[in-house]
């Protein structure tokens, strides 16, 4: 920026860091999904995933290295929490992935979902700033950006206050508290009724859309009796329901619900006036599917041994 006086350039240099993510690995799935493993400046690792479909190119970004929430069905949760990401590290996943996509796929990113590693609403300052930069700086429309949360109520309320129409996904996974508690430890701190009233505020704050994410685990949360309470919840906040077949993870032996059961859920929900869709699993062969991101474990298994003293 040679149009600035030297002392201002120096002041900028002293006050800001230009974060560049170091690409540690790129894997491309048979279905076209692309997983980037990034190495951060302190040696932590995170992942982000590009998901091409016919009409869109969606980028799934991480908001934390690891996650402290410990949800029982999620590989990131099993790996524990390493640290918060900075605003720069969140935004750089977008700028670096976009560069990669434009170069290798000849197309740009149309949608962003905060569904990679970590709980975005537990890293609120950096996530809010990254939302502003992506929306205002990079001109990604607010309705094309979705923040996914497991139910951090103060974070939902803050997002409701923002004037932009960012979308919110609630990882619901069970429509009744007792069952939800067995999957999501946060249910104890923020039980469903409290989450629901925060969602109502969000829903009433002007043209904002809510999606429920419901990962279907065979014999765990796919009983037909759960459909009625799910319908009631979805109707109360006009939510769209995404049914996600459970992606197996190494730490326990659960399986996805059978396809006909997932279809059954979707059909009944739709018949009862709740828009629902089955989210096709992408990138399972490279461990890039929902809940399978575990950069740290992956790297620890495969990192060459340090020479011993």
Exactly one of 57, 74, 140, 276 binds ligand SF4 (CB under 6 A); that residue is: 74
Which among 142-150, 156-164, 204-212, 257-265 is the span making contact with ligand SAH, rule CB under 6 A?
142-150
> Which tokens hold the place of 147?
């923040």
Compute CA distances 22 → 41, 93, 112, 134, 226, whole Å: 8, 10, 20, 20, 45
In the three-class reduction of DSSP (H, G, I as helix; E, B as strand; rest coil), residue 137 is classed as helix
Q: Are 75 and 289 in contact (CB under 8 A)?
A: no
Angle between helices 227-236 and 259-271 (to 10 degrees): 50
The residue from 60, 67, 71, 290 that is catalytic is 290
Please say if 39 is a catalytic residue. Answer: no
Q: Does 77 bind ligand SF4 (CB under 6 A)?
A: yes
Report how far apart the first and last C-alpha atoms of the chain are (Å, whole number): 47
Choose the contact partner of 246 out of ligand SAH, ligand SF4, none; CB within 5 to 8 A by kind. ligand SAH
Q: What phi, psi does 202 have (nearest 5°)?
A: -60, -45
Asked if 67 touches ligand SF4 (CB under 6 A), the answer is: yes
CB of 12 to ligand SAH, least distance (A): 34
Query: What are the residues whose beta carbons fall under 8 Å from the beta carbon of 13, sequence distance 6 or more?
Result: none
Beta strands in 131-217 (DSSP E): 145-149, 167-171, 210-216
Give the one entry of ligand SAH, ligand SF4, none that residue 247 binds, where binding means its C-beta sits below a cut-off of 5 to 8 angstroms depending on kind.
ligand SAH
Helix/strand/coil for 20: coil
Examine residue 82 and tell whether it contacts ligand SAH (CB under 6 A): no
The residue from 71, 140, 170, 210 that contacts ligand SF4 (CB under 6 A) is 71
Residues 186-215 as x/- pattern, contact with ligand SAH by CB under 6 A = ---------------------------x-x
174: contact with ligand SF4 by CB under 6 A: no
Contacted entry of ligand SF4, ligand SAH, none for residue 86, CB cut-off 5 to 8 Å set by kind: none
d(CA 164, CA 104): 32
Q: Contact at 8 Å (CB) between 154 and 201?
A: no
67 is catalytic: no
Q: How far apart are CA 209 and CA 211, in angstroms?
A: 7
- Quick one: which of 59, 96, 115, 140 contacts ligand SAH (CB under 6 A)? 115
Which residues participate in catalysis according to the annotation?
47, 290
Where along the sequence are the contacts to ligand SF4 (CB under 6 A)? Answer: 67, 69-71, 74, 76-77, 118-119, 150, 171
Where along the sequence are the contacts to ligand SAH (CB under 6 A)? Answer: 73-74, 115, 119, 148-150, 171, 213, 215, 244, 246-247, 249, 290-291
């Amino acid at each position: 920026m040679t149009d600035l006086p030297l002392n201002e350039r120096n002041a900028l240099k002293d006050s800001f860091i230009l974060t560049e993510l170091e690409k540690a690995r790129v894997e491309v799935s048979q279905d076209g999904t692309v997983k980037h493993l990034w190495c951060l400046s302190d040696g932590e690792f995170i992942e982000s995933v590009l998901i091409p479909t016919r009409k869109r190119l969606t980028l799934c970004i991480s908001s934390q290295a690891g996650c402290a929430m410990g949800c029982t069905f999620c590989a990131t949760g099993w790996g524990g929490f390493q640290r918060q990401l900075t605003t720069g590290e969140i935004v750089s996943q977008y700028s670096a992935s976009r560069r990669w996509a434009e170069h290798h796929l000849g197309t740009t990113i149309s949608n962003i979902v905060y569904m990679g590693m970590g709980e975005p609403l537990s890293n609120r300052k950096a996530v809010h700033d990254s939302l502003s930069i992506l929306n205002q700086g990079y001109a990604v429309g607010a309705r094309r950006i979705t923040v996914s949360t497991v139910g951090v109520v103060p974070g939902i309320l803050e997002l409701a206050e923002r004037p932009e129409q960012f979308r919110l996904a609630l990882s619901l996974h069970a429509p009744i508290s007792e069952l939800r508690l067995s999957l999501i430890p946060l249910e104890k701190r923020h039980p469903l009724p409290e989450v629901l009233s925060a969602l109502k505020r969000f829903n009433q704050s002007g043209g904002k859309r809510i999606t429920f994410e419901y990962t279907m685990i065979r014999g765990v949360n796919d009983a037909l009796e759960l459909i009625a309470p799910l319908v009631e919840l979805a109707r109360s906040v006009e939510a769209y329901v995404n049914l996600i077949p459970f992606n197996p993870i190494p730490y326990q032996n659960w399986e996805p619900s059978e396809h006909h059961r997932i279809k059954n859920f979707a059909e009944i929900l739709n018949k009862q006036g709740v828009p629902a869709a089955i989210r096709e699993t992408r990138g399972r062969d490279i461990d890039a599917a929902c809940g399978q991101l575990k950069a740290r474990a992956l790297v620890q298994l495969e990192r060459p041994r340090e020479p011993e003293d």
